[in-house]
Every structure is written in C-alpha cells, then in structure tokens.
C-alpha cells in the first residue's frame, strides 16, 4: 500500500459525508446504500466512523458530474476515467467525484428499482414472463396509460408481483419540486417542450418542469433514466426508440450493425437515417459500490497500491463477493490503527459485576496497578445523562421524554428548562415502565401509549386498555410500535422500523393498503429508528443519541443530538 506524501490523514475519526447529487442511472436509495456499504468497508477495519449529513460542509463531499465538473481534472466521457477523490484535508480535499458519463450499476447490469405497484419497491427481474411472452426491459404492454412497468419475479403470470419503472411520467429527482412528475408540454424560455430536455444546462442532465410553465413557476426536477436509456453517443440519457430505422432497415432491439467493435447501440428517435441520434445500449456498467470503496480509500489517505488484487489498485475489475485485501487493511491501519472491528463489544469489568439490570456502569481506574472499581451510575435522575429515550412525544404543547418508568417535560417556549424526573405511574397508573411510543390525538386530546404488543388510551384520568395491537389490525408478527406521527384529520402513522401503518384514530383500525415500507416514503432516515415523533411540524427519527429531522415536504434538513439540540443540555 501507499499513502500520500506526508501521510495525509484526518485528525479526527468521526468523518462526515454528504451526497450532493445523484446519478440518473440508479435510484437514490440504491446510491446511498452503495455509499454506506463502501464506507463500511473501511469502518469495519479501522476506528473510523462515517456519518451522513444533509446540509453544510462535510469532510467528504460526494458528487456526480461529467467532463468539466468544477475542478481542474475533467472526466473523459464513457469508460477511461471512472472517478477520482482527493486526500484528507479542508475544502475540496477529501471529496469524491464520480463520472456520470459512465453507466452506474452494481456491476452486473441495469438495476431498476420499482415504485408503487405491489412489490414494496423491489427491483425488476429481467427477463420476466407476462401473458406468455418474455420481456427483457420495462414495458407498457397491458396498460392503457403508457406507464412502464416490470415484474419483480421472473413470472408475472404466476406471481403477479409488479412495480412501476423509473420514468419522468412518474417522478423526478433533485430540483425543487419534491419529486413531482414532469408536466408535458411545458414552457421554457418561451418554447414548448414535450419531453425532458438538456436545454438551458451545461452539465448534460435531463430536466423537465413540474408545472406547465417553467418561466412563470420556476418548478423543475431531473428526469430519472429509463432502463433503456443510452450511454454516450450523442443522446446520453435518452431512451432507445423501438422500432427505429437504420440504413432503411427496421430494428426492434439494440444492434451492433454498422460497427466493427460488436458494441450494441440503438437510435433515440424512430429514424436514425434522418435524425442521426444514437447511443450505446446499457451494458454491465460499473459497480458504484466498488468504485466508491476505492475512492473513499483515497479520501481517508490511501494512494494507489501495486497489489493487483487490492481494492486500491487503480484499475477497475468487478468482483462478486468482495472482501477487503490485507494490503488495504494494512494501509488504513497504518494511518489510523486497528479500531474495534465491525462488532465492538463492551469492555469487560475486571471485578465481579454488580446488578446492572436497571443501570449502566462506569469503570473507574484509580491507578494502573490497583483493582478496578466499578461505580454504578443511575442515568435516569438526569435527563441529560440518558443516552437514548424510550419515547419522545408532544403532549399539551410540551415535549415528554420517557425512560424506564420516569419522564421529563420540556417546554419549547423556555429552551433548557427541563422538569422532572416524574414517575409515569403517578400520572398514568395503568402504564408499564417502558413506553415504546405515545401520541396525543389533536382532535380529542386522548393520549395513546404503546408498550410491546399492548396499548392504552387515556382520556384525562380515565384509561382504556391494555388492548392488543391485533385490535388495531396490526399482525401478530409485529413485536412493537416504536414511533407515531399525527397526520391531521384523525389519522396517525405508526412505525415499527422498516414498516408503517396509517391508523384511523376514530375507528381505531389501520387503513387498507398498509403496512408500507418506511424507506419508500421517508428516504434518508435510518430504517431502524427506535423512535419517531412530531415536533414543531417536523418529523424526527431517533437512533441512539441522534435524530434525523425531516421537513413536512419530507426532506431531511438536519441531523443532530437529542441531548443538545432538542433537550438543550449544556
């Protein structure tokens, strides 16, 4: 392995990263997951941690761009240079850039994540069978609205599992329209457009207006690439048009005719001979995960390795079951040490452990040679010493923080003033000590408490319950409800991590069509959040001592500490 001259490295281990934009080739969730996994490659073998932030300057800023993309090192079109990254430091240092003239996949061809349908966002399975015919790409067959769909199993006829494919007719990404679909035709600069366009931009990204008049409304988004979008040529990102005419012959699929390099291409209008618009058909593409893991190696201080099988070797090659090479591990550990590995375990006390059933322990070493003394600490006397609360919710305008039979109240009008601890049993005698989530129904002022598979409803001092979750229509496989979110008009969303339900508070039954996948509707928050609550109109997802704040338009705009930023602890 090699390090940069002067052993450039970060002076802190808690590295932050921010994804500035996304490639049209892959769904945003898949891109973020690839980056998460790429960082994990390094955090598993070092003391480094990587946390995604959504605003401000991160240590590692990640962007997709092509050709001249804002630094002195332009990319070079398809193939050739795939990405580059800078060694640790301020400003552009530490940043990673990916060439968006490449076709980004997970290394084995187009990845089409579906939306809507009945497959919970699963990816398309190609080829799939529909009405006895085999399909190798998304199709609008069987529909009258022209929307592209695919089967998420190999046999739609048998399994009936499907979802809709990326299309500007369904949604956009980025821009300022919160994912709204394109509106066609739309007016831009006085001209009418019937399709996504690159006009008005110098970066080659295809966009559309999400109202009928961009000049007036200024609302826009970027068009996701269809699974048949071409790479390179003179129509990057435009979909193939089938059938197309080439040298007076009609083609219904990609062809290598006209070329002597056997590469498949298609026309992006119905007639190549007249329009001469074309591009290469999607190939295996490059694994964003593998390339990102390599670039992040640079971003933490590693240069290119001379070991051919090492991740830090400069040439790209696809590996199905990736494992970090010992040369890479030696490199990162040379800079940062070995860390605790992927599954750190708590330190073992050297004397007999006291009863820690309801307390955590602090280990105090009085001198290097004496026996270690274990001092129990009860964090529940001070809200600022609680690492993670069981539940947080707003009741009668005050935030309530629940933990192990106690709770605290904090007024948003007087930041820093915390009242408590108070005993849960003094205020709500029927409740158990651990509350998973709670919410106040804004219409009736009833307070719902959830613990395990049971729930209680308090109206003043009158209580109903406990009753089982099955009464709400929630299946027996659900262990508990960890979060709740008032949605107005007597509806509340109930979360158990990766799934959520919509509860009709009046009928006390969840609505049809639920559960749904949390990550589909609330992108960018941890799906294993242990608490979800509404505060000042924003949605908060908690994990450990952190929270992810999501605006009513479902954009994560802040990640912070519950203790410092919500409780206002010193």
Partner 1 sequence: APLQSQPQVRVTFPGELVSSISDDELAESYLERFGYISKRSRSNTHVSISKALLQMQKKLGLNETGELDQSTMEAMKTPRCGVPDVGN
In the complex, which residues of this chain contact partner 1 (CB under 8 A)? 4-5, 73, 75, 77, 79-85, 232-234, 247, 257-260, 265, 276, 278, 286, 291, 294-295, 298, 303-304, 306-308, 313-316
Residue closer to partner 1 by CB (options 54, 313) is: 313
Q: Which helix (H) or strand (E) holds 326?
A: helix 326-336
Residue 70 CB, shortest distance to partner 1, in Å, is: 14
Encoded tokens for 262 = 């056997």
Distance from C-alpha of 120 to C-alpha of 32, rounded to nearest angstrom: 18
Scan for tokens 């085999």, then name that residue. Answer: 134
Burial 158-172 (b: 16+ CB within 10 A, else e): eeebbbbbbbbbbbb
Residue 308 CB, shortest distance to partner 1, in Å, is: 5
Distance from C-alpha of 367 to C-alpha of 357, rounded to nearest angstrom: 28
Distance from C-alpha of 419 to C-alpha of 171, rounded to nearest angstrom: 46
Residue closer to partner 1 by CB (options 87, 497) is: 87
Residue closer to partner 1 by CB (options 295, 404) is: 295
Distance from C-alpha of 158 to C-alpha of 565, rounded to nearest angstrom: 52
Q: Helices in 453-538 by DSSP H: which ranges?
A: 518-521
Residue 242 CB, shortest distance to partner 1, in Å, is: 18
Q: Where are the beta strands (DSSP E) in 397-517?
A: 398-403, 406-411, 418-423, 437-440, 447-451, 454-459, 462-468, 483-488, 491-495, 499-504, 509-510, 516-517
Residue closer to partner 1 by CB (options 311, 532) is: 311
The torsion angles phi and psi of 293, rounded to 5 degrees, stand at: -60, -40
Residue 306 CB, shortest distance to partner 1, in Å, is: 6
Catalytic residue among 32, 102, 168, 295: 295
Neighbouring C-beta atoms of residue 69, cutoff 10 Å: 16
Identify whether the C-beta of residue 200 lies closer than 8 Å to the C-beta of residue 191. no
Residue 196 CB, shortest distance to partner 1, in Å, is: 18
For this structure, is 295 an active site residue? yes
Residue 295 CB, shortest distance to partner 1, in Å, is: 7
Residue 132 CB, shortest distance to partner 1, in Å, is: 26
Residue closer to partner 1 by CB (options 4, 126) is: 4
Encoded tokens for 226 = 């269809």
Residue closer to partner 1 by CB (options 113, 277) is: 277
Supply angle C-alpha 199, 205, 206, rounded to 5.
65
Residue closer to partner 1 by CB (options 74, 349) is: 74
Q: Which residues neighbour 366 within 8 Å (Cβ) at sequence distance 6 or greater? A: 373
Strand-pair partners of 542: 531, 547
Residue 277 CB, shortest distance to partner 1, in Å, is: 8
Per DSSP, 460 falls in state T
Q: Which residues neighbour 351 within 8 Å (Cβ) at sequence distance 6 or greater? A: 371, 372, 373, 374
Neighbouring C-beta atoms of residue 60, cutoff 10 Å: 25
Q: Which helix (H) or strand (E) holds 37?
A: helix 28-43
Residue closer to partner 1 by CB (options 2, 134) is: 2
Catalytic residues: 295
């Amino acid at each position: 392995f090699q390090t940069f001259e002067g052993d450039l490295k970060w002076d802190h281990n808690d590295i932050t990263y921010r994804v500035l934009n996304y490639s049209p080739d892959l769904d945003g969730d898949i891109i973020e997951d690839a980056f998460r996994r790429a960082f994990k490659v390094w955090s598993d073998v070092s003391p480094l941690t990587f946390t995604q932030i959504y605003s401000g300057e991160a240590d590692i800023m990640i962007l997709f761009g092509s050709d001249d993309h804002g630094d002195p090192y332009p990319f070079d079109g398809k193939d050739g240079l795939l990405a580059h990254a800078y060694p640790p430091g301020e400003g552009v240092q530490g940043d990673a850039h990916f060439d968006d003239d490449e076709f980004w996949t997970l290394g084995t061809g187009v990845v089409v994540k579906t939306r809507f349908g009945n497959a919970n966002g699963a990816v398309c399975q190609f080829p799939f069978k529909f009405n006895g015919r085999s399909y190798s790409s998304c199709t609008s067959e069987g529909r009258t609205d022209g929307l592209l769909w695919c089967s998420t199993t190999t046999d739609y006829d048998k399994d009936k599992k499907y979802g809709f494919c990326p299309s500007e007719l369904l949604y956009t990404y980025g821009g300022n329209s919160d994912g709204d679909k394109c509106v066609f035709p739309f007016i831009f600069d006085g001209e009418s457009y019937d399709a996504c366009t690159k006009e008005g931009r110098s970066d080659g990204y295809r966009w559309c207006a999400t109202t009928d008049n961009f000049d007036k409304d200024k609302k826009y988004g970027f068009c996701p690439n269809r699974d048949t979008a071409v790479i390179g040529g003179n129509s990057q990102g435009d979909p193939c048009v089938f059938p197309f005419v080439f040298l007076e012959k009609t083609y219904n699929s990609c062809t290598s005719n006209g070329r002597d390099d056997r590469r498949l291409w298609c026309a992006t209008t119905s007639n190549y001979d007249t329009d001469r618009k074309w591009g290469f058909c999607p190939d295996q593409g490059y694994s964003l995960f593998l390339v990102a893991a390599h670039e992040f190696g640079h971003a933490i201080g590693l240069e290119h390795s001379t070991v051919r099988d090492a991740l830090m070797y400069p040439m790209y090659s696809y590996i199905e079951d990736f494992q970090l090479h010992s040369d890479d591990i030696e490199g990162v550990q040379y800079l940062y040490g070995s860390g605790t590995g992927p599954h750190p375990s708590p330190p073992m006390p050297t004397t007999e452990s006291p009863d820690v059933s309801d307390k955590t322990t602090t280990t105090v070493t009085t001198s290097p040679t004496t026996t270690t003394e274990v001092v129990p600490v009860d964090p529940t006397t001070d809200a600022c010493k609680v690492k993670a609360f069981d539940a947080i919710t707003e009741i009668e305008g005050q935030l309530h923080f629940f933990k192990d039979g106690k709770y605290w109240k904090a007024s948003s009008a007087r930041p820093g003033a915390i009242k408590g601890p108070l005993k849960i049993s003094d205020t709500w005698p029927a409740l158990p000590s651990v509350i998973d989530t709670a919410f106040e129904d804004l219409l009736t002022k009833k307070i719902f408490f959830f613990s395990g598979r049971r729930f209680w409803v308090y109206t003043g001092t009158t209580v109903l319950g406990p009753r089982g979750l099955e009464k709400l229509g929630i299946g027996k496989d659900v262990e508990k409800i960890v979060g709740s979110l008032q949605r107005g008009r007597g509806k509340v969303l109930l979360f158990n991590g990766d799934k959520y339900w919509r509860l009709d508070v009046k009928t006390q039954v969840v609505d049809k069509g639920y559960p749904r996948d949390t990550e589909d509707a609330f992108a960018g928050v941890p799906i294993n959040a242990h608490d979800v609550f509404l505060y000042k109109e924003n949605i908060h997802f908690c994990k450990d001592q952190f929270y992810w704040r999501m605006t009513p338009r479902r954009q994560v705009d802040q990640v912070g500490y519950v203790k410092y930023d919500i409780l206002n602890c010193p």
